[in-house]
């Protein structure tokens, strides 16, 4: 393909879901590395032995990073990795298997058990261990009991087994000796040391091999409840215990957790500050609506990976080749970088979705034009609101979400003062479960609205939650709707 006959329809920007994007490369794994953008050296940072917590906003790229780590580790000699999705995991079932330990530590044992089962599945990929007795025990045990992730489709059976280990121990015959059976207590907790020894001994049998486990989509079942929050805190502590235990034993194994940063911020435990500073990396794409943003580095990499004939062109040349200088809207010219990124939450998912809407509708064009950005604005705005509503789920009730969105639709203004929307709300009685102050705080916290001030030289300065996590709504300043939602709310 030459530089004269490329089309924007040839560009693969990726998909909104990192797992789906990785699956697109399942039969062409070598191309995966060409399309993956290693922003801020995140792969090396996430690969350090003591880094096991990857945090980021919804849509920031946690899953695609996990998929790339999985790919990279499985491409490395003597290395094995699994990425496990917990989107069907029944979090509520953990209550049945909790201990008497003080909250939020009551679920550490069951998470330890889950980790041992899943790390055992990773080591079972190593056929050089097939003659090892511990490997044989684990294979029989896993094949009979845990082909599927525990506490998913067979949750009731799993719980029944784990709650009556001593009484009903036949399912343990492949892994526990008669002598060990006599030492078991009523529930599964007394079985954990037995299983742990077998797993670690199997790993130690061939010390040159490493085993990695990546846990994803823990947040798919998010609810702002003590059960959920305590279970995630327990998971982090169980992972911390496992990783540090194997490091002390000089065993090559590691478990990594991918978690939304907004959920992590809700967790209340004195130990978590240390875990974040010592054991976490955050995916943060900055807040600059400029071509210097790393999000444009990602865009350029996707373009050159899709159209190899452009690889020798510079970043600036690629941007100039494909993007207009300005986009005219509402009788003013807006620089394209500011237009595009100003309609996002500074995350790859939004940028990819906007550009893919254009390439899908105008595949034969050789570049992005101002008219194309304006043409797909409504569809992008619909996507953008749905993404925000999805993020609200778990934090808020369905009724609360419905009320705050209905308030903005019926109010129908782009910028306003607090007194204006307060009067409108009082007159129209849209809010039944929230006060107007609570509703506006929710809208601000999820970046549906922001604050702004106009300086003496007519310059506008915005304050957005997605740009500055610690800011709070200021009822004394004017408020405005996010630019990505203009078309949906028809303002």
Could you report the per-residue pLDDT of 21-61, keeping only the tens digit for each? Answer: 999 998 888 899 999 999 999 999 999 999 999 999 999 99
Q: What residues contact residue 289 under an 8 Å CB cut-off, 6+ apart? A: 337, 338, 341, 342
d(CA 483, CA 448): 9
CA dist 304 to 309, 310, 319, 450, Å? 8, 6, 11, 36
| pLDDT for res 169 | 76
| pLDDT for res 4 | 57
pLDDT in tens, 59-114: 999 999 999 999 999 999 999 999 999 999 999 999 999 999 999 999 999 999 99
* 424 CB-contact burial (10 Å; exposed 0-12 / middle 13-18 / buried 19+): middle
Residue ranges of the chain with pLDDT lower than 50? 1-3
| pLDDT for res 1 | 36
CA dist 205 to 78, 102, 198, 209, 377, Å? 13, 37, 11, 9, 58
Closest CA to 384 of 283, 458, 485, 253: 485
| pLDDT for res 191 | 92
| pLDDT for res 491 | 85
Are residues 202 and 142 in contact, defined by beta-carbon separation less than 8 angstroms? no
Quote the pTM value: 0.95
| pLDDT for res 298 | 98
| pLDDT for res 481 | 98
- Which residue pairs, CB below 8 angstroms and at least 24 apart, start in 285-289? 285/39, 285/60, 285/346, 285/347, 285/348, 286/346, 287/346, 287/466, 287/467, 287/468, 288/341, 289/337, 289/338, 289/341, 289/342
β-sheet with 415-416: strand ranges across: 415-416, 478-481, 449-454, 460-463
């Amino acid at each position: 393909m030459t530089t004269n006959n490329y089309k924007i329809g040839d560009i693969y920007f990726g998909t909104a879901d990192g797992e789906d994007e990785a699956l697109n490369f399942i039969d062409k794994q070598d191309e995966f590395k060409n399309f993956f953008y290693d922003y801020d050296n995140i792969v090396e940072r996430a690969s350090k032995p003591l880094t096991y917590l990857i945090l980021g906003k919804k849509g920031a790229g946690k899953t695609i990073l996990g998929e790339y780590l999985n790919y990279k580790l499985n491409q490395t000699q003597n290395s094995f990795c699994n990425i496990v999705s917990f989107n069907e995991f029944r979090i509520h079932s953990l209550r049945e298997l909790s201990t008497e330990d003080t909250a939020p530590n009551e679920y550490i044992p069951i998470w330890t058990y889950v980790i041992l089962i899943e790390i055992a599945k990773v080591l079972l990929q190593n056929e050089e261990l097939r003659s090892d007795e511990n490997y044989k025990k684990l294979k029989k045990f896993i094949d009979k009991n845990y082909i599927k992730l525990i506490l998913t489709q067979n949750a009731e059976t799993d719980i029944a087994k784990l709650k009556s280990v001593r009484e009903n121990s036949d399912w343990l015959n492949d892994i526990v000796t008669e002598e060990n059976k006599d030492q078991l207590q009523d529930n599964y907790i007394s079985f954990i040391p037995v299983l742990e020894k077998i797993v670690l001994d199997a790993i130690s049998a061939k010390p040159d091999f490493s085993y990695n486990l990546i846990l994803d989509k823990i947040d798919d079942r998010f609810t702002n409840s003590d059960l959920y929050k305590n279970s995630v805190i327990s998971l982090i502590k169980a992972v911390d215990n496992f990783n540090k235990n194997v490091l002390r034993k000089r065993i090559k194994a590691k478990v990594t957790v991918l978690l939304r940063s907004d959920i992590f911020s809700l967790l209340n435990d004195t130990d978590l500050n240390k875990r974040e500073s010592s054991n976490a990396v955050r995916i943060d794409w900055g807040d600059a609506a400029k071509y210097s943003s790393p999000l444009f580095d990602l865009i350029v990499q996707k373009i050159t990976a899709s159209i190899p004939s452009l690889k020798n062109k510079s970043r600036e040349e690629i941007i100039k080749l494909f993007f207009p200088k300005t986009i005219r809207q509402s009788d003013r010219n807006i620089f394209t970088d500011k237009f595009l990124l100003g309609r996002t939450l500074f995350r790859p998912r939004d940028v990819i979705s906007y550009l893919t809407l254009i390439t899908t509708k105008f595949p034969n064009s050789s570049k992005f034009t101002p008219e194309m950005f304006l043409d797909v604005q409504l569809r992008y705005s619909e996507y953008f609101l749905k993404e925000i509503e999805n993020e609200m789920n778990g934090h808020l009730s369905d009724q609360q979400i419905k009320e705050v969105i209905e308030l903005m639709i019926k109010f129908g203004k782009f910028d306003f003062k607090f007194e204006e929307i307060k009067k409108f709300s009082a007159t129209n009685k849209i809010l039944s479960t929230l006060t107007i102050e609570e509703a506006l705080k929710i809208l601000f916290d999820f970046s549906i609205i922001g604050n702004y001030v106009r300086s003496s030289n007519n310059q506008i300065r915005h304050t957005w939650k997605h740009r500055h996590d610690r800011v709070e709504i200021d009822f004394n300043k004017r408020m405005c709707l996010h630019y990505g939602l203009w078309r949906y709310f028809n303002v």
